[in-house]
Structures are given as C-alpha cells and as structure tokens.
Amino acid sequence: MFEIASTPLSRRAALAGLFGVSALGLAACAGSNSGGGGNGASATPVSSDDFAKAMDTDTELTFWTWVPDIQKEVDLFQAKYPKVKVKVVNAGQGLDQYTALRTALKAGKGAPDVCQIEYQYISSFLIGKNLLDLSGMNGFGDLESQYPEWVWNQVARDAAVYAVPQDTGPMGMLYRDDLLKAAGVQAPTTWDEFATAAQTYRTASTNSYLTDLPPNQAGQMIGFMWANGAKPFAYDGDKTVTVDLTGTEAKQVVEFWQGLVQKDLVAVDPDFTDQWYQGLSAGTYASWLTAAWGPVFLQGTAKNTSGNWRAAQLPQFTAGGKATGNWGGSTDAVISTTKNPVAAAELARWINVEREPAMKLATEQFLFPPLNSVLQDSSFVGQTPEFYGGQKVNEVFVEASQNVNTDFEWLPFMDTVYSSYTDVMGPAITNRGDMVGALAQWETKIKDFATSQGFTVK
Amino acid sequence: MSTAPTTAGTATGAAAAPLAAAASTRRRRGSTDRRSPLLTVLVILVLPYFLLPLYWLVVASTKDNGQLFSTFGLWFDQINLVSNLQQVFTAQGGIFWTWIGNTLLYSVVSAVGAAFLATAAGYAFAKYTFPAGTALFSVVLGSIMVPTTALAIPTYLLFAGVNLTDTRWSVVLPSLVSPFGVYLMRVYAADAVDTQLLEAARVDGAGELRIFFSVALRLLAPGFITVLLFTLVATWNNYFLPLIMLSTPEKYPLTVGLAQWQSAAAAGSGGQVLFSSVITGSLVSIVPLVVAFLYLQKYWQAGLSTGGVKG
Amino acid sequence: MTTSVRTAAAPAGSPAPRRRGASPALRRQHRAAYLLVLPFMVVFTAMLVVPLGYAAYLSLYREQLIGGVSFVGVQNYVDALSDPAFLSGLVRVALFLVVQVPIMLGVALVIALLLDSGVLYAQRFIRLAVFLPYAVPGVVATLMWGYLYGPDFGPFAQMATGLGLPKPPFLSSWMLGSIMNIVTWSFVGYNMIIMFAALRGIPTELYEAARVDGASELRIAWSVKIPAIRSAILLTLIFSVIGSFQLFNEPQLLRTLAPSVIDTAYTPNLYAYNLAFTNQNVNYSAAVAFLLALVIAVLSYVVQLSAQRKERRS
C-alpha cells in the first residue's frame, strides 16, 4: 500500500519482486550536463596482456546492485580473481539508486565502479556521458552473438556497448486454468478472442474479471505497445527525442483496452497494492498479462492457488502472430568515473556471462536470463513447477523471448514518462473514460516536458 | 496539521500547555459536584472514534496474513500474535531491531540536543537584554512558518554536497532546531527564573554562565523536560526527513522501515515480508510512545496541579 | 507568533536597560547572552537559514537536461502562478482548511471545555483516549485507516455489504474527506491538550462570581472561558493553517492505494516533492515551495490580524 513512488515497474523489473522497496524518486540532482553527443566515455581497446595485468593487481571495486544475494555470484568472481576485492552495496532500488548515483556523479566522488541499471534508464545516463563504452574490453568482442537481438539492441548503440544484460522480462500471459474452464472459456491467443473471453467470463462469474488493467502501470501498457510493433519513443543520443504515442500501433492497443474498460469487462485496480494482491489469490482476476519475472513472483504471492495457473503467449492482434514486448529487467553498467575500468568491465561481464554465475542467477535468484546459452539450457527450460500444474513455464517465456520485437527505444527521462502516465491515463482508466483522448494528452505532456528540458522534439 | 508536527519546531506546540499552566501562578479547582453521568456517557460514546483504529490494530496484530483479508476486521480469529512477533523481529535478519535502535538514537539525541539548545537560547532571550536580541528572536519566531518542503530539498542538496546524505547526521542535525522550543523556553524562563535570584548570584560573584548552569538550569528543568518530550515524539514520528535523506535500510527509523515493508508486502515480496508483519510491527512501534504518554500523564498531572495548589 | 500568546510580547525580564558605554558587568552579560544563544543560532543558521537561502537562489535558475543551468530571474514564480497543477492543489488544501480545521478545533474545544468544567467522570481516561492518537506516527495512522477504508476487506465495507448497502467510496470519490478524517483523528487530542491547559490557566475568580450568580456552565464557557483562551485557540488555528497547507504524508501514503485519485500534484507540498524527486526539476520545485511558504505566511498573518482586531473591538 505504501509504495513511495509511482513507478513500481522499475522495481518489479529486475527482481521478480523478491524485495519490494520504496522507489522514492530521489532524483534531485539532474545529471551533469555536458550535453552533446550521447556517446559515453569511450574505452580504449584492451590487450590481453593489459587485461591479465589488471586482473592480477590489487583492486577494490564498488558494485551497486539491489539483486538479493548477488554476493553468491560475486564470491565466485573473487575466487576467480582473488586480487580484486568487490564491495557490494545496496544503494536503494530503482529510482532511489539512480538518485544516489546522480548525486555522487555530480559531487564527483562516491560513485560506484559497476552499477545495476534498468534498460529504460540507460539512456538517461548517456546524457552526462556517465557510462563507459565497454566495446573494447576483454571478452566483449563476441558478446553480441550470445544474446537475442532485441536484448543486445537495448544495451548497444552503434558500435558502443554500455551495459551487460542481467535479466529481462519478455511478456506473456498467466491465467487460471480452473476459472477459465469453469466459465467455459478457452485461453485466448488473439486479442479478439481475449475480448470475447472477457465478455463470456464476466457474464459467467459476476465477481470476477478476466484480467486487470492497472491504471498506474505504464510499463505494462508500453509493453503491449512494444508487442504490437509500436515505436513510441526514440532518442538520438544527443539532443533529439521522438515521441509518438498516437501512431497506429500504439493507438490500436489503447483503443482495444478502452473497449474492454468502458464495457466493464476488465478490472481497473492499481497493481501491486494489497487489494490487487488479494485479487490474484482470491480469483478476482483470472489472468495476469505479465512478463517473464511474473511466474516466480506469482508463486510467492498467491500460494493458495497453486496448481491452477498456466502460462501462455501474449495474445496477438493478428491470428498466428507471435510478437511480444518486454517489461522490466536490468543490466550492469560500468560508471565512467571508475579508476579500474578493466576490472570493472570484467566484473560486469563475468557474473552475467560466465556459465556458473549466470546459471545461479537464473535458477537460484530466479532472474529471467538474457543469455541464449541459459535460455537453451535444459536445467532451466525443463523446470516443471507444481504451481503451474507441472507445465514447463520457462519454456513458454523462452519462446516469448525469441519473439520480442527487436527495435525499441526509450526516452532519457522515463521516470517522468511513467509518473505522467499515472496522472493522465490513470484517471481515464479508473473512470472507464476516454483513454484514447488521454493518450494524446499524455503525449503532449511528455513533449512539453522534453521541450522544457531543452530537447528537440520530433 | 499533518506535517507541521513533523518539524521539530512546530511539534512542540502542545508543550505550551503544561508550561503555561505550570509557569503561571494563578490556580484553583472547584468541587467535583458538577459531574454529569449524561455528559459522560455522551463523551464516552464518542471515544470509540479515537480508539477504533488502535483497537483494530491490536486485533489485526493477532491475525496471520491470510486471516487479515478473510475474516471480519474488528473481531479476533485465531490468535497468532506470537508468530507475528517472531516474524517481525526475525524478518530480513532481524532488521526491525536495528530500526528500533535507530529510532531511539535519532529521537533521544535530537530531543536532548534540541531541548538543550532551546533552553540556553530561550533563557538568554528572556533574561538578558542584549543588542540584536529582539531581532534574532523575531527571526527565530518567523521561521515557524516555513514549510518543510521549502527546506527539505535544499537541505538534501546541501547535505549531498558535503556527503552527509544517507548518514545518521542527516536525520539528527535538522531535528536539533526547534524554534518553537526556543519560544516556549523564553516564555517559561521569564516566569520561572526569578531575576532577583540572578542578581543575588551576581552579587556573590558568580559568572554568568555559572549562574545559568548551576542556578537557572535547575529552575528551568520542567520546561526543559517538556520541550524534550515533545521533540522526542516529533522525531519518533518523523517520516519525511529520513525518507528523503536515507537510502540504506540499516539506517532507517521505524516509520520509514515500516512504510518500506508495507510497499514490499504490497509488492508481494515472495513471502519475505507480509502484511501481518507490517501491522504487528506498527503496533510494536507505537507501544513505547503510548507507554511514554501514560507515564507522561503524571508529568502533566503534576505540572497542572502544581499550578492548582498555588492558586 | 509573538502576539499569539500575550506573555511573549512582554519585554524580557532583564535588569538593566540598554545604553551606550555599557558597564563591564553589562558587557559580561551581553557576552554570556551571546554565548548562550550562539549554539542554537549556529544550528539554526546551518539547518534553516542557509537551506532557505539556497532554495531562494535555486528558484531563480533553471536547469535543463540539455543546455544546463541558466539564470531565469522570477520566471519560475511566474510559471507557477499560472500552473494549473499548483493552483488546483492550493484550492484543494484551502478547501481542506475550511472544512477540516473548524471541525477538528471545534471538537477539541468542546472536549477541552467539558474536561475543564469537571462535569465528566473518568476524566483522566477520556483525556488520554482522546490524546492517544497523537502518539501514533502519521505513517502508522494512515496505514491503519488505509486498511479500515479498504473496499474489499475493510470492516466498513464488510459491514455495508452485510447490511446490503453500497460500499462507501472512501478511497475514490470520498478521498479528500477520508484524508480529513485521518488528520482530524490524529490531531484533535493535540489541540485539545493545548486548549485544556490554557483553560486550566484561567484564574477561577474570573467566573466563580458568575457561577455563584447562577450562570450556567454553558454560559460561563461561552462568555468567560473561550474569550480567556483566545490566544491558545489562535495558536492552534495558526498551526492548523500551516499544517493544512503542508499536507503531505497522508496523500503521499494513500497514493499507492488510489494512484489515479491522488495525482502527483494533489497538494502543493506533494507537487513540490514530485517536481524535485521525480521530474528532477529542483529549481521549479523551490519556487513552488516558496510560493507555498508565502501563502502560509500571509494567511497566518491575516488570521492573527483579524483575531487582534476582534480582540480590540471586544
């Protein structure tokens, strides 16, 4: 009930909700404004000798992250490189941490060497050239081929690489098999079927809805747009941003939901509140359109419904389509002020790319893996949790991960974008009103903000 | 009134009460014959309003997470208070103990510091006429109007500049300023410290500071304690300042910690934090204050009746 | 504030009037006074004056993500004065003030008068029960009421459903009222204690004669007691004005329950907070906070002034 800020998505993102935290948007200090080209400080190519020398030198690294128990992976790293000491610091989750980071960067001291950053916030640190270009670092040369294309696009810009992916959130659908069966509804594969199912389901069980559309969850809505091939945002890395929320694909998504919302066929409760949480376990919502971190999250929160849930792909606008979007996930980036760029880059790479730590992250911390090798690993894909009636849930989301639309960009000020979603779209959803009109307003608000911040808006 | 009392300054407002009564020399109390059962019943009918949420809190603290949402809120079900308490004190490696310790530290240090600073300043404003004295006092009084947000953000930025954010100092230092405490102590000192006594001490050759520490301070003790207690409450309940300043859970006071647990529970934290823990933790967090108030009751009683005897 | 409690307006009880060429004894006293005031003034300056000055400085600039910092003079203030988000928040807290404060202070005054006149049994218990909520942190108070308001599992909703009534919309259309209720609950006791102690300070002689003459308690309360504690009531009123305009904790905490009812600019304080911490617009936020402070100062001044006028007339 007391999330401190209105951007719950950021925290869901990396964590599968293992640790809820007040995402107090302590973004008091805007990043330093060197302005100009969005290329972070660039790294000089590192020779293998330099690399070996760096890793054999006594070094201390500070690593900001809010992944619970990441010390496990860091311990493995230190066993491999005993001379490199890593200090793991939880400097807050999401916006909290970014604020601390911005403050430290502004003060010119206290910034970490390696820092967890969610995909959608990477570009906000490119404005101040705060992220080190890792492309020349040891082991980064063949990294691109190890990830799905869409994941790589999220961390790379032109030839530069700004972060190492840690986990992702390709979107799918979790639903209550028992409730749907009882209402005589089949799991929908298209949005048309979904709408029909919502109607049938609502008629069959008056106290329950097929799903909930939270009025505070920009991340989910943006994910739907992403799945539908929309490109609402773009940033050239310099001074120009593009905002297009009223384009065909984005509008189609909002029009679809407006239809359901206005006919009272979906619930409109804010998510991650106690009521919503109760709704999930009490069967008030028969499905949850969520991301790859959703299954583990749900397992922890709706224990009493174990065995009744199933996973499926996100419904489609075109029958037979498979495209989806991403909601959440994060990366580890190297901060450009680091005095030990080589060791820092290796830390970011090693714990996320090497097999042992990467498997641990996926199977012990339950972060949904970005690496192809883990996505194909049978010990990950083959899990058959009882909660999902023995279904290979990971397999469903691995498939989703292969179908995420490849080109999606963010604006360098997503916190404002999210909070204005709740302000503008939120009431339209709650009051079951004009969502399409609100969409246009939301776009205007974002554009106005961008202009006021000195961006050129396209 | 929601945020004003969170600043050290305004929160001491209630302190005016016992002080004014104790410092004044008029007093009385009539017979008790006027008691009316009817009025008493009427008032007692209103009391549930004030006690209901607290009653609910006690009831809810005995329920586990499931019962919380499945049973009638205002009556007991199975009693799970002990297991709830265990959860509260063991969750996240027993961090609740740390929060209690932090809250105690913040509130005691702030309260003692604020009360002392206010007493010294209030005494000086009351008992000395010195250049700029009146002007300084007016500035201090005027500052009571300043909203907390006007200060919170610049203070945060200034603290960030000197690396004080996310330190214990960042919570304690701003809480040391209690303009209202100064005002109270000035009023109190004007009455409670006899100027002739000071003159006598001076004739005996005592230095001014010695007079303050050995003569005046003792006379000012009731006022000092009142300012202390109310600053204590204000800091204990403070939410906004630590929320802004702190980002490390190990430094949180109870208020921020509980709010964080609440959002963690709401975020369905994989079973690590439960609503029942938040509720039971809330109960635990207010118990010390309620006990303090019960005990404090004697102070007011004493303060009020001392005045009464004199009249 | 000086005028709000009359004793404070009296000159300090210092022995020697100030004059030029002060005697050594007087100079010693001045030195002592400065020494005693110094610690407070140092902390006061560092924690209040400096941040305030810094806020004033910040409010004259504008920092953009692209283009950096530039001096804009009073432009932030001009913008705020025509910013519907800021203005609607002001109107909302003004409404809050007009509705909630009289209720809260009225209830507090009635209870204080009842307690003072000695017409009640179980006085100590009643006084404690009413005062107890003040000991509850705002965070916990809001959490408790948040549960009680709950549309599914809150007891009021449960009772309404049980009686076949519609669920009370505490967290939607009644939101402002729900917040008023939390604040009232928390602070009736606090205000009651201020008024009660002031009542105890009235010399009995003021109304014993009236009582002997057979005046009713109600009459005594109205014509003697309330006028006698006018300054205490004024004090509570001014604190309430300040508190209402600074409303923050309750809406901030209830926002997660009802994000589309309480927007980021629900109260001016919430707006300033979100401007600074979500939008990273510290400069504009500082200007908003200053305007808010100005409104509060003006209102408090008006309240005091009108009270004084009344006093003079009566």
The Cα–Cα gap between B169 and B290 comes to 27
What are φ and ψ of residue B25, in 5° steps?
-105, 0
CA angle A201–A206–A211, rounded 5-degree value: 50
* Start-to-end Cα distance in chain B: 34
Amino acid letter, C184: T
- List chain C residues with CB under 8 Å of A453: 64-66
Which one of A24, A215, A454 has the shortest CB-CB distance to C65? Answer: A454
Output the pLDDT for position C23. 82
Q: Residue B14 has what pLDDT?
A: 38
pTM of this prediction? 0.82
Site from B149, B157, B220, B224 to mutate, C interface, most C CB atoms within 10 angstroms = B149
Q: pLDDT tens for residues B80-136?
A: 888 889 888 988 778 899 999 999 999 999 999 999 999 999 999 999 988 888 899
Q: Tell me the per-residue pLDDT of C36-88, one tens digit each, with 9 for 90 and over.
A: 999 999 999 999 999 989 989 999 999 888 888 899 999 999 999 999 999 99
Which of residues A24 and C206 earns the better pLDDT score? C206
How sure is the predictor about B149, in pLDDT bands with cuts at 50, 70 and 90? low
Q: Give the ranges where A65-137 is alpha helix by DSSP (H).
A: 71-80, 95-107, 122-126
Measured in angstroms, the CA of A454 and the nearest CA of chain C are apart by 5
The C-alpha of C11 sits at a distance from chain A's nearest C-alpha, in angstroms, of 44
Spell out the residues 6+ positions from residue C196 whose beta carbon is closer than 8 angstroms to its own. B17, C111, C112, C115, C116, C127
pLDDT digits (tens, 9 = 90+) for C93-123: 999 999 999 999 999 999 999 998 888 888 8
pLDDT score for B19:
47
Residues in chain C: 314
Instruction: Give the pLDDT confidence of A228-270 residue by residue, as tens digits.
Output: 999 999 999 889 999 999 999 999 999 999 999 999 999 999 9
Higher pLDDT, B136 or B271: B136
Q: What are phi and psi of A291, to 5 degrees?
A: -120, 180
pLDDT at B150: 67
Query: A300 and B163: CB-CB below 8 Å?
Result: no
Residue B83 has a pLDDT of: 87
> How many angstroms away from the CA of A156 is the closest CA of chain B?
30
Residue of B nearest to A69 (CA): B92
Say yes or no to pLDDT of A199 above 90. Answer: yes
Q: Is the pLDDT of residue C150 over 60?
A: yes
Whether C256 has its CB under 8 Å from any CB of chain A: the answer is yes
Percent of chain B clearing pLDDT 90 (strictly above): 22
Name the one residue in this structure whose structure tokens are 């109107």.
Answer: C91
Q: Identify the H or E element spanning B93.
A: helix B81-127
User: What is the pLDDT confidence band of residue C21, given thresholds at 50, 70 and 90?
Assistant: low
CB C256 to CB A270 under 8 A? yes
| pLDDT confidence bin for B147, thresholds 50/70/90 | low
Segment among A85-99, A142-156, A250-264, C11-25 with least mean pLDDT: C11-25
**Cβ of residue C114 closer than 8 Å to a chain B Cβ:** yes
- Would you say residue A305 has pLDDT above 50? yes
Show contacts of C79-84: CB within 8 Å, 24+ apart: C79/C284, C79/C287, C80/C284, C80/C287, C80/C288, C80/C291, C81/C291, C83/C288
User: Which residues on chain B are in Cβ contact (under 8 Å) with C279?
Assistant: none
Phi, psi of C216 (to 5 degrees): -75, 160
By C-alpha distance, the chain A residue nearest C258 is A270
C-beta atoms of A453 and C256 within 8 A: no
Q: CB distance from C89 to chain B under 8 Å?
A: no
Note the pLDDT of residue C28: 86
pLDDT band at residue A2 under the 50/70/90 scheme: very low
CA distance B93 to chain C (A): 23
Give me the residues paired with residue B146 across strands: none
Chain B 262-281, residues with CB within 8 Å of chain A CB atoms: 262-273, 275
Q: Which residues of A touch B166 (CB under 8 A)?
A: 100
Residue C39 at interface with chain B, using a CB cutoff of 8 Å? yes
d(CA A406, CA A375): 17
Q: What is the mean pLDDT of residues A296-300?
A: 84
**C66, C144, C161, C255: best mutation site toward chain A, by most A Cβ within 10 Å?**
C66
Q: Which helix (H) or strand (E) holds A36?
A: none
Per-residue pLDDT tens digits for B244-269? 788 778 899 999 888 878 766 665 54
Indicate the pLDDT class of residue A189, thresholds 50, 70 and 90.
very high
Nearest Cβ partner for A1 among C63, C256, C264:
C256
Q: Is the pLDDT of residue A149 over 50?
A: yes
pLDDT tier, C212 (very low <50, low <70, confident <90, very high otherwise)? confident
Task: Find the largest Cα–Cα distance for chain C.
Answer: 84
Tell which wins on pLDDT, B19 or C81: C81
Does the structure show a pLDDT above 50 at C9?
Answer: no
Mutate to test the interface with B, among C140, C208, C303 (most CBs of B within 10 A): C140
Asked if residues B294 and B12 have their Cβ atoms less than 8 Å apart, the reply is: no
Tens-place pLDDT, residues B194-217? 888 888 888 888 888 888 998 888
Range B284-310 average pLDDT: 61
Q: Average pLDDT in the A180-209 region?
A: 94
pLDDT at B292 over 70: yes
Residue B104, pLDDT score? 93
For the segment C258-280, the average pLDDT, to the nearest whole number, is 88
Kind and range of the H or E run holding A278: helix A274-282
Among A residues 422-451, those touching chain C with beta carbons less than 8 Å apart: 422-423, 426-427, 429-431, 449
Tens digits of residue pLDDT in A95-124:
778 877 887 887 777 899 999 999 999 999
In chain C, the residue whose alpha carbon lies closest to the alpha carbon of B198 is: C15
| Residue B5 in this model has a pLDDT that exceeds 50 | no
Neighbours, chain B (3 or more CB pairs < 8 A): A, C
Contact state of B160 with A17 under an 8 Å Cβ cutoff: no
Annotate chain C with DSSP letters as a single string. Answer: -TTTSHHHHSPP--SSPP-SS--HHHHHHHHHHHHHHHHHHHHHIIIIIHHHHHHHHHTTEEEETTTEEEE-TTHHHHHHHT-HHHHHHHHHHHHHHHHHHHHHHHHHHHHHHHHHTT--SSHHHHHHHHHGGGGS-HHHHHHHHHHHH-TTTSHHHHHHHHTTPPPP-TTTTTHHHHHHHHHHHHHHHHHHHHHHHHHHTS-THHHHHHHHTT--HHHHIIIIIHHHTHHHHHHHHHHHHHHHHT--HHHHHHTTT-TTTS-TTSSHHHHHHHHHHTS--HHHHHHHHHHHHHHHHHHHHHHHHHHHHHHHH-
Q: pLDDT tens across A29-82, in order? A: 333 333 333 344 555 688 889 999 999 999 999 999 888 789 999 999 999 999
Find residue A59's DSSP bridge partners.
A84
pLDDT reported for residue C105: 97
Residue of B nearest to C58 (CA): B154
Contact A352, A147 (CB under 8 A): no
Residue A220 — very low, low, confident or very high, per pLDDT cuts 50/70/90? very high
Model pLDDT, residue B97: 93
A22 to B272: CB separation less than 8 angstroms, yes or no: no
Left, alpha or beta for B93 (phi > 0: left; psi -120 to 50: alpha)? left
Q: What is the mean pLDDT of residues C268-277?
A: 88
Best A4, A103, A269, A281 residue to mutate vs chain B (most B CBs within 10 Å) = A103
- Percent of chain A with pLDDT strictly greater than 90: 74
* Neighboring chain A residues of C252 at a CB cutoff of 8 Å: 4
DSSP state, A265? Answer: -
The confidence score (pLDDT) of residue C16 equals: 44
Q: Measured between alpha carbons, how far is B1 from B18 in angstroms, rounded to an integer?
A: 20
What is the C-alpha to C-alpha distance for residues C269 and B147, in angstroms, rounded to an integer? 8
